[in-house]
Amino acid sequence: MRYFQDVLSKLDLSSGREIGTQLGFSPKYFEAMYAIGVKYYDNNRLEDAIKILYQLTVIQPSASRNYKALGACLQAKEDYATAITVYGSAVALAAMDAEIHFYVGQCQFLMGDFLQASVTLKLASRLCEKYPEKWAHIAHHAKDLYTRASQRATKAPT
């Protein structure tokens, strides 16, 4: 407990600098930790990936990719509600990232919230259309899932 108090006493939370930077972590450290987290995800070691990526969101909170990767882990564990919450932080940092909106839409669809999924996936599709060079790899998937969500939303009882 004393060590934790010593670390906290050295932080200047009003400085605007990230915790990890204040603690002396280098950009290479952040890259390495992110790579390890993604590797764990790729190897289906989701709990290990979640631990690392969560820590990255704490010490490097302005990096949307950390939230995006953490959200993907939670989505893979079928914890869709928590994944949506985490993706929300990624959206706040990178609102024009069509992938994040697509993943949120997937979660909403899988939760059965077809109306909200159709809204989110429509946004993802529009971002894909606006920036085709960046989002071509998901454009077809976003549009297809949008169509499916829209169809189910109109069939859903009110």
pLDDT category of residue 42 using cuts at 50, 70 and 90: very high
Whether 12 is covered by a domain: the verdict is no
Residues 138 and 85 in one domain: no
Residues 114 and 125 in one domain: yes
Question: Is residue 143 pLDDT above 70, yes or no?
Answer: yes
User: What pLDDT is stored for residue 59 in this prediction?
Assistant: 86
Whether 7 is covered by a domain: the verdict is no
C-alpha distance from residue 25 to each of 21, 22, 56 (Å): 5, 8, 11
Whether 119 is covered by a domain: the verdict is yes
Whether 135 is covered by a domain: the verdict is yes
pLDDT category of residue 158 using cuts at 50, 70 and 90: low
User: What pLDDT is stored for residue 156 in this prediction?
Assistant: 59
Domain that holds residue 72: 20-94
Last-in-domain residue among 63, 94, 125: 94
Radius of gyration of the chain (CA): 18
Question: Is residue 32 pLDDT above 60, yes or no?
Answer: yes
Last-in-domain residue among 61, 94, 127: 94
Residues 109 and 131 in one domain: yes
Q: What number of helices (H) and strands (E) belong to the chain?
A: 9, 0
pLDDT category of residue 1 using cuts at 50, 70 and 90: very low
Question: Is residue 15 pLDDT above 90, yes or no?
Answer: no
Whether 50 is covered by a domain: the verdict is yes
Residue 139 tokens, joined: 């454009």
Residues 127 and 151 in one domain: yes
Q: How far apart are the first and last CA of the chain?
A: 53
- Percent of the chain with pLDDT strictly greater than 90: 78
Domains contained in the chain, number: 2
User: What pLDDT is stored for residue 86 in this prediction?
Assistant: 98
Contact present, 135 and 127 (Cβ < 8 Å): yes
Residues 89 and 110 in one domain: no
**Whole-angstrom distance, CA of residue 87 vs CA of residue 75:** 10
User: Could you tell me which residue, 11 or 52, shows the higher pLDDT?
Assistant: 52
